[in-house]
């Protein structure tokens, strides 16, 4: 059947439906007609976008176009170039990642992808950390290896003034935890709009910059012992709210590639907390822990105990190693700093410095001063 495709900008394009399908279970069934209220698939129509109307060929009457929320956050995607490249994943090349991102655009309407023409880097724009982490998690389960950078909020320049996206944040939690959560959101430039008590729970509503939501979910769940229910949605762009406090603690970085030994971890525990288990494979430049002080610390985690036949009092004490901090994908994305990547493979999530070599990092630090 010939039909008209009415575009958002007012253009009307003549096109043809080649096949009409209805959905049955997980599959599709060909049919000759559908009625008002049916959900169907039209085969053969190219170049359409969300909000376009398929109308009569002779008298097209377009419906009002649907508005799509614009992206508020961007993230860098790149190929995995770590020393462990290709060991765990099936799809590892730039062509694989590019094809997968282009395919995602067909069904993920709020996503935008820009390829850097001079390198294997893609700027992916989405509706928040969760939106982008769902895509990354899907890719890793399909067998892709990739690296992603720190999530960054998209700012706008309006009348010479800097504007940022602001979201409506709703948190439902037990009443006894509400004080801690209100203080936590306030430090992230959140403004309380309403508070409603329902039984022994409290419904809090805030207006908060999108920057303030990065890393908030994990803190809220910890403070409420996992009982908080949190949701947020984009409202509008508002003038820049000011700087937020970020993680001040430095990273503990592996000095060389090899196997992490319990002996080394035990001796270095006073430097901070670790993200790896004994016997894990690590590489030079990998972030293996969080320092207890500011500034990065480089340690040799692959140093084993020198065995001798001599016995000395106190030298053979039992080791007491604290359990490592294990990040989920979303927590890792929220944790990393600007000069770090999250390396994602089907079996592992690792944190690393963008520049693995210590001398390269020092050179860049000097140039930026």
φ and ψ of 364, to 5 deg: -65, -40
Encoded tokens for 203: 């419904």
Contact 126, 73 (CB under 8 A): yes
Q: 3-state DSSP helix/strand/coil percent for the chain, to nearest 5? A: 20, 35, 45
Provide the mean pLDDT of the chain: 88
Residue with tokens 């790149």: 78
Rounded distance, CA 187 to CA 180, Å?
11
pLDDT for residue 67 is more than 80: no
Rounded distance, CA 139 to CA 33, Å?
37
Give the pLDDT confidence score for residue 309 in this predicted structure.
63
Helix (H, G, I), strand (E, B) or coil at 368: helix
- H helices then E strands: how many in the chain? 8, 24
φ and ψ of 222, to 5 deg: -65, -45
Give the pLDDT confidence score for residue 315 in this predicted structure.
56
Task: Kindly state the average pLDDT of the residues 239-251.
Answer: 83
Give the pLDDT confidence score for residue 239 in this predicted structure.
92
Examine domains 73-153 and 164-239 and report if their fold is the same: yes
In terms of pLDDT, which residue wins out, 88 or 47? Answer: 88
* Whole-number percent of the chain with pLDDT over 70: 97
Residue of 100, 101, 144, 107 lying closest to 124 (CA atoms): 101
| DSSP category for residue 269 | G
91: pLDDT confidence band, cut at 50, 70 and 90?
very high
> pLDDT tens, 221-241?
888 888 999 998 888 899 998
Task: Kindly state the average pLDDT of the residues 273-290.
Answer: 93
Query: What pTM does this model have?
Result: 0.78
Contact 164, 240 (CB under 8 A): yes
Through-space distance between the first and last CA atoms of the chain, rounded to whole angstroms: 66
Residues 249-308+320-368, CATH architecture = Beta Barrel (2.40)
Give the pLDDT confidence score for residue 311 in this predicted structure.
60
Give CA separation, 317 vs 195, 267, 297, in Å.
55, 12, 26
Rg, the chain, Cα only: 26
Cβ count near 105 (within 10 Å): 11
Contact 150, 180 (CB under 8 A): no
pLDDT for residue 8 is more than 80: yes
Burial of 330 (0-12, 13-18, 19+ CB in 10 A): buried
Residue of 90, 68, 69, 94 lying closest to 81 (CA atoms): 94
Residue of 259, 314, 252, 254 lying closest to 281 (CA atoms): 259
Question: What's the CATH number of domain 73-153, 2.30.30.90, 3.40.50.720, 3.40.1190.10, 3.30.70.870?
Answer: 3.30.70.870
DSSP states of 130-189: HHHHHHHHHHHHTTB-EEE---EE--EEETTEEEEEEEEEEEEEEGGGHHHHHHHHHHTT
Helix (H, G, I), strand (E, B) or coil at 278: coil
Please report, for the chain, the start and end positions of each structural domain, with discontinuous segments joined by +. 2-55, 73-153, 164-239, 249-308+320-368
Give the pLDDT confidence score for residue 341 in this predicted structure.
95
In terms of pLDDT, which residue wins out, 112 or 369? Answer: 112
Cα 200 to its chain centre, rounded Å, is 33
pLDDT for residue 80 is more than 60: yes
Residue of 104, 127, 221 lying closest to 171 (CA atoms): 221
Helix (H, G, I), strand (E, B) or coil at 194: strand
> pLDDT tens, 189-220?
999 999 999 888 999 999 999 988 887 887 88
Give the pLDDT confidence score for residue 10 in this predicted structure.
85
Rounded distance, CA 237 to CA 330, Å?
24
Query: Could you tell me the fold of the domain covering 164-239?
Result: Alpha-Beta Plaits (3.30.70)
pLDDT for residue 365 is more than 80: yes
pLDDT for residue 328 is more than 90: no
């Amino acid at each position: 059947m010939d039909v008209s495709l009415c575009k958002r900008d007012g253009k009307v394009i003549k096109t043809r439906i080649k096949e009409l399908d209805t959905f049955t279970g997980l599959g599709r069934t060909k049919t000759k007609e559908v009625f008002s209220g049916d959900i169907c698939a039209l085969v053969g129509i190219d170049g359409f976008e969300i909000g376009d109307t398929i109308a009569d060929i002779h008298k097209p009457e377009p419906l009002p176009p649907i508005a799509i929320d614009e992206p508020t956050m961007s993230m860098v995607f790149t190929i995995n170039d770590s020393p462990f490249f290709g060991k765990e994943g099936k799809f590892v090349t730039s062509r694989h990642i590019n094809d997968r991102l282009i395919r995602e655009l067909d069904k993920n309407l709020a996503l935008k992808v820009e390829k850097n023409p001079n390198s294997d880097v893609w700027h992916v724009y989405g509706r928040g950390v969760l939106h982008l982490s769902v895509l990354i998690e899907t890719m890793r389960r399909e067998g892709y290896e990739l690296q992603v950078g720190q999530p960054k909020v998209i700012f706008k320049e309006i009348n010479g003034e800097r504007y940022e996206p602001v979201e409506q944040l709703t948190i439902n939690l037990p009443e006894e935890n509400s004080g801690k959560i209100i203080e936590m959101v306030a430090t992230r430039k959140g403004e309380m709009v309403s508070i409603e008590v329902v039984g022994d729970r409290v419904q809090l509503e805030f207006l908060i910059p999108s920057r303030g939501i990065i890393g908030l979910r994990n803190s809220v769940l910890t403070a409420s012992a996992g009982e908080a229910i949190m949701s947020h949605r984009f409202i509008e762009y508002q003038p820049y709210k000011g700087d937020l406090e970020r993680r001040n603690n430095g990273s503990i970085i592996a000095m060389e590639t090899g196997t992490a030994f319990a002996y080394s971890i035990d001796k270095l525990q006073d430097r901070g907390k670790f993200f790896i288990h004994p016997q894990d494979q690590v590489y030079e430049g990998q972030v293996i822990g969080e320092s207890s002080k500011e500034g990065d610390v480089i340690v040799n985690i692959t140093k084993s105990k020198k065995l001798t036949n001599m016995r000395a009092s106190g030298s053979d004490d039992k080791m007491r190693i604290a359990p490592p901090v294990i990040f989920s994908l979303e927590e890792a994305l929220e944790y990393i700093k600007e000069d770090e990547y999250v390396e994602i493979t089907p079996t592992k999530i690792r944190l690393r410095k963008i520049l693995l070599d210590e001398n390269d990092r020092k050179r860049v630090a000097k140039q930026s001063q």
